[in-house]
Amino acid sequence: MIELDDQQQAARGWFESLRDRICATFESIEREAGSNAAFEYIAWDRADPSGEPGGGGVRGVMKGEVFEKVGVNVSTVGGTFEGEFGKTIHGAGEDPRFFATGISLVAHMANPHVPAVHMNTRFLATTRRWFGGGADLNPPLPTPEDTEDFHATLKAACDAHDPEYYPRFKAWADEYFYIPHRKVHRGVGGIFYDHLEGDFAANLAFTRDIGEAFLDVYPRIVRRRMGMPFTDADIARRNAWRGRYAEFNLVYDRGTLFGLKTGGNIDAILMSLPPVATWD
């Protein structure tokens, strides 16, 4: 196991505790639907090219009646970037050593009226230290109520720290979660931030509040929509939208590339892919 300093341990501890609370909440939603589905957890270890301990993580996946497939992963890894990839990472151009810890979540829902969702927050250390992440909502059948609720909750979390955060990070999400070859956004947006550095305590507090906001708003949206009736046409729309989601994650997503380039667990990296998708 890699050795952690106080900041690294604090970040890791938060991400793991958030994972536990999210998974417990999602399992409780399955119980409300009459399902006994539960998360299956699989630990994995990473081999660093340097020969030193490379850390690892835990992949958690649940397949239920409400959550057709949801993955909640935590990882804590470190070592040395290989080749030219390190030069693309903030603060690693001259020194390829790195540390990263974070939580990554993707939920694909059975009912097309329940939006899919992505949430990821992370802490990285190279010659610099910073937080990044965000959350975005991906409904096959968007509704203004859900979109407004999701954004309002994230805005409140941002505003508690800096009134400039929400407009800045919302615009960043709109730019990032876009599929250029389709000329469409991946969903109805959210927030995205990166390279948030300087005051560790303040930035950890902000990252914690984003996790709390997600845990507040997304289960509320799921419970609001999970009992709605749907048609075969709605399922077809859901599956086609999932195809767009898969395209983004395989072609453009930074987290996918980071995991692959740093020797992460393949199943954990690709847990973001939906169980069923279609392309016309």
Q: Which residues are catalytic?
A: 118
Dist. CA 157–CA 151, nearest whole Å: 10
How would DSSP label each residue in 29-72? Answer: HHHHTT-----EEEEEEEE-TTSSEEEEEEEEEE--SSEEEEEE
**155-163 LR contacts (CB < 8 Å, sep 24+):** 156/213, 157/206, 157/209, 157/210, 157/212, 157/213, 158/191, 158/206, 158/210, 160/209, 161/202, 161/205, 161/206, 161/209
* Other Cβ atoms closer than 10 A to 205: 13
Dist. CA 275–CA 280, nearest whole Å: 17
* Cα–Cα separations (whole angstroms), residue 172 to 21, 135, 142, 190, 191: 28, 12, 21, 9, 7
What Rg value do the Cα atoms of the chain yield, rounded? 18
